[in-house]
Amino acid sequence: MKYKVYQGNIDGKGKKLAIVISRFNNFISKNLLEGAIDCLVRHNVEEKDIEVYYVPGSFEIPQTANILAKADKYDGIVCLGAVIRGETPHFDYVSSEVSKGIAKITLDTNVPVGFGIITADSTEQAIDRAGTKSGNKGYSASETVLELMNLFSKMNS
């Protein structure tokens, strides 16, 4: 082979993770939490190595995840929340700030941060992405974090 390929395994053995979860729309986000923990435990993370931080709403997720990313305590962070479009422009502000905020942490630190935030036009659409028709965004964001952790550790060796 002429070129070298790097890929991260989806494995969390010996890893420590933080989950930041919004209480707003908890009827959705609690399913994202279940999916995230299911994914992490299935991929060899020990339950004692998972720490869950609750915040009031998705807007508060980036600041909290930023503090955790800089605490040098976690191998990865999974952010979970559900922003559902309502009658007011609040949806646009919250969804834009949470996505920009999480993206900024991924660029400012070397800690993988998973975007397990559902942004949906309706409650039904959000339910679909929280463990029913369209998978579970908490599970898939956790898989991504595990993969990136292992990919990034190959860059140091």
Q: Is-contact 28 130, C-beta < 8 A?
A: yes
**Least distance between ligand INI and beta carbon 112 (Å):** 22
- In the complex with ligand INI, which residue's Cβ is closer, 49 or 97? 97
Which is catalytic among the residues 13, 42, 70, 90?
90
- In the complex with ligand INI, which residue's Cβ is closer, 104 or 154? 104
**Least distance between ligand INI and beta carbon 55 (Å):** 7
- In the complex with ligand INI, which residue's Cβ is closer, 82 or 111? 82
43 is catalytic: no
Angle formed at CA 90 by CA 120 and CA 100, multiple of 5 degrees = 70
Q: Which residues bind ligand INI (CB under 6 A)?
A: 22, 24-25, 56-60, 81-84, 86, 90-91, 94
**Least distance between ligand INI and beta carbon 118 (Å):** 9
- 104-109 long-range Cβ contacts below 8 angstroms, 24+ apart: 104/62, 104/66, 105/62, 105/65, 105/66, 105/69, 105/77, 108/66, 108/69, 109/66, 109/69, 109/70
